Amino acid sequence: MKRRLPFEILHEDRDVIVVDKPCGLLTTHTKVAGRIARETQQTVENFLNVHLRKGQAKSRLRVWLVHRLDRETSGVMMFAKSEEVAEKFRSDWNRLTEKTYVAVVEGCMDGDSGVFESWLKEDRDGYRVRSVAPGAPGAKQARTEWRKLGMIGGDTVVEVALKSGRKNQIRVHFSEAGHPVAGDVKYGAHRAARLFLHSLRLSFIHPRTGGRLSFEAPLPPGFSPQAPRGLPSGGDCGIIRA
């Protein structure tokens, strides 16, 4: 019997799989000991491996991680179906892809648009990321562009374009600007129903055809019940606990 996936596949071909990841589901395994533990943890990666193998226990088919979404971030993301394709994307990610997010951030953002630029570095334990002096050892340059879409109560709805793909980049930049993503307790926000960050759109140059493809994951119900006109809505945001 075919196992039903807890998310929608937006596109699949011989090279890539694009999915709409629900909030609450890990992209890939956490630091668990042993192969069996890693392969049985509830992750998008493992669900897709089962999907590709179609019940064949000896199958070596698998997906390859190209980028990540944080556990509580929802929306569109992509996996490669070979190491070669994965490496093509990893080695030239900023040129080959464009990513657009929607976020609700605490407070009223000044202006209609803006840019955050800094050098980001993970703490030693890898839990938090912060901006450091330009060129600091281990730091990576990051650029986040945003524009205001509207307000929900006293909070701001923003569209965010990533010009680099750093860990927690959006969350850190808005937090350091005094407007953490709603629900992002890790970076100073008040508790909320979820982390209000959604990967809305992903476009990329296909590694085989050279054509540009674009995919969109509509905002889940409850993400922004009073969202400004023009924001897409639909889908599901069921929390899945590993």
Residues with a known catalytic role: 70
Inter-residue contact 42 to 88 (CB < 8 Å): no
Whether the CA torsion 140, 201, 15, 73 is positive or negative: it is positive
Q: Other CB atoms closer than 10 Å to residue 37's CB: what's the count?
A: 11
What is the length of the chain?
Answer: 242
Q: Whole-angstrom Cα distance, residue 227 to residue 217?
A: 16
Q: Whole-angstrom Cα distance, residue 50 to residue 218?
A: 25
Q: Other CB atoms closer than 10 Å to residue 118's CB: what's the count?
A: 21
By CB atoms closer than 10 A (0-12, 13-18, 19+), residue 53 is middle
> DSSP readout, 111-162?
SSEEEEEEEEEE-TTSS-EEEESTT-TT-EEEEEEEEEEEEETTEEEEEEEE
